[in-house]
A = this chain, B = another copy of it.
Amino acid sequence: MVFNCKPKIVLTDKQKNLIEKIGITFEGEGLQPVAARILGLLYVSDNPQLTFDEITVALQISKSATSNGINLLLQMQRLEYITFSGDRRRYFRLKVSNWREQFRHKIEVMAGINVLMREVLAIRTKETPEYNASIKEMVDFMDYIFQQLPLLLQQWNKEKNNKN
């Protein structure tokens, strides 16, 4: 096992700042702080494939924090890993190519709220027709959007192909 040594990853101040900025932003989206920083690190790091230990060291967190963060992100399908024969370590990387699915998933979550709003409309008193109509307008619009978004994706795919 001659080349088991990996040059420790070094982060510039610019990179560190951006990791924190990404971290805060993704925390705002509901992610756990450590998980948010792991994403930041993988976005910013020169090497987009990092081991468990490299992540632990780069972010200066405990092994258990790394373990929890990684497993959460794996389960959320934000991360995947590859392995190399003769090396027990997993190399984690962002599932960026996955963005179409992520996008679809985000739409589904938002559409879920709309389903709830339809439940609201179903049980609301009929004594408040204007109010109900306001809610219905919003729900109808959102459904229109959710219906149109996949078409936009298709359109964009097409435009992109035309350019190449």
Write out the residue numbers on chain B whose beta carbons fall within 8 Å of the beta carbon of A138.
Answer: 96, 99
Chain B nearest CB from A84 CB (Å) reads: 18
Number of copies: 2
Say whether B28 contacts A128, CB under 8 Å: no
Interface residues of A in 79-124 (CB under 8 A from B): 96-97, 99, 103, 112-113, 116-117, 119-120, 123-124
A72 to B22, CA, bound (A): 25
A71 to B69, CA, bound (A): 34
> Secondary structure at chain A's binding surface: helix, strand, loop or mixed?
helix
Write out the residue numbers on chain B whose beta carbons fall within 8 Å of the beta carbon of A135.
Answer: 43, 96
Which A residues are closer than 8 A to B by beta carbons? 14-15, 18, 21-22, 25, 28-30, 43-44, 46-48, 96-97, 99, 103, 112-113, 116-117, 119-120, 123-125, 127-128, 131, 134-135, 137-138, 141, 144-145, 148-149, 152-153, 156
Other than A21-B116, A96-B131, give 13 A-B pairs with Cβ distance below 8 A.
Answer: A25-B113, A46-B127, A48-B131, A96-B134, A97-B134, A99-B134, A99-B137, A99-B138, A141-B153, A141-B156, A145-B149, A145-B152, A148-B152
